[in-house]
Amino acid sequence: MLAQLNAEILAGITLAQLVRKKTPVLYGSVPLRVRIDNLDNMYGAPETNRYNIGGVQMARFYGIPCYSTAGIGDSKFPGIEASVNKLLSHLFIALSGAQYIHYAFGLLEGTNTFSFEQAILDGVHIGMIKSMLKEQRIEEELQDSLTMIREVMNTSHKMFTRYARRYLHAGEVIPFYPFEGDANETLIKVKERKEELLSSPVDEIPEEINKRIFQEFDVLERIK
């Protein structure tokens, strides 16, 4: 799978460079496992994550920015099963180092169904992963940390609860999860959040910005 994927992508990149030298390109890898009985894609299969991670590694080998996909599962309903399936995919692909990730917000049953509730859950989970992967602020807090270490180590109990509590309460150690509870409680909270979002005013793109976008990128001409 990876050998074929790599050959096809490199062939496409070569064609792009032949048409216009130094054309910016992405190493676009979205490989999938296929079911033998009906030839549908198996988005939730473990192999799918492994294929995508392999694609990211090949892109890093060639030094080309990588586009990959994550967060698509085979579950048909929003909830814990779909969330775990999608969350692991998001985490694995993000850790592999892809520069551009198609998050597949709210998609269920492969890519056949969109769920508003699942999109809300996906947003929280992706935010947690971003929090886990963000750069640590070591240099900014180094002096404060050293001061605290000296203070703690000079005590008999060697406790640093006050120091850690500040970061725990701020959600910097473990991000807060707003939908804690069993499966029913989680969905009830998600539905409440959905109603809150739907009842909020919508911020639309100003008309003058819309016109600039259409003019700058020749959107209408491209559609024709």
| pLDDT given at position 18 | 95
Q: How many CA atoms lie within 13 A of 138 on its CB side?
A: 3
pLDDT over threshold 90, residue 172: no
Task: Specify the range with the lowest mean pLDDT, choosing from 44-53, 70-79, 165-174, 185-194.
Answer: 165-174
Q: Is residue 191 part of a domain?
A: no
Q: Is residue 179 part of a domain?
A: no
Per-residue confidence at 15, pLDDT binned at 50, 70, 90? very high
Q: Is residue 90 part of a domain?
A: yes
- Over the chain, what HEC string results? CHHHHHHHHHHHHHHHHHHCCCCCCCEECCCCEECCCCCCEECCCHHHHHHHHHHHHHHHHHCCCEEEECCCCCCCCCCHHHHHHHHHHHHHHHHHCCCEEECCCCEECCCCEECHHHHHHHHHHHHHHHHHHCCCCHHHHHHHHHHHHHHHHCCCCCCCHHHHHHHHHCCCCCCCCCCCCCHHHHHHHHHHHHHHHHHCCCCCCCHHHHHHHHHHCCHHHHHC
Helix axes 46-62, 80-96, angle to 10 degrees: 20
| pLDDT given at position 212 | 87
Number of domains in the chain: 1
Q: Is residue 86 part of a domain?
A: yes
Contacts of 93 (CB under 8 A, 6+ apart): 49, 52, 53, 56, 68, 69, 70, 101
pLDDT over threshold 80, residue 182: yes
Q: Is residue 165 part of a domain?
A: no
Per-residue confidence at 191, pLDDT binned at 50, 70, 90? very high
pLDDT over threshold 60, residue 223: no
Q: Residue type at 87?
A: L
Q: Is residue 38 part of a domain?
A: yes
pLDDT over threshold 70, residue 63: yes
Q: Is residue 187 part of a domain?
A: no
**Average pLDDT in the chain:** 84
| pLDDT given at position 153 | 74
What is the tens place of the pLDDT at every residue in 64-99? 999 998 888 888 888 888 888 888 889 989 999 899
| pLDDT given at position 195 | 93
| pLDDT given at position 196 | 93
What is the tens place of the pLDDT at every residue in 123-142? 999 988 888 888 766 665 66
Say how many C-beta atoms besides its own lie within 10 A of residue 179's C-beta: 17
Per-residue confidence at 24, pLDDT binned at 50, 70, 90? very high
Q: Whose CA is closest to 92, among 123, 124, 47, 137?
A: 47
Domain boundaries, position 126: 1-134
pLDDT over threshold 80, residue 169: no
Q: Is residue 149 part of a domain?
A: no
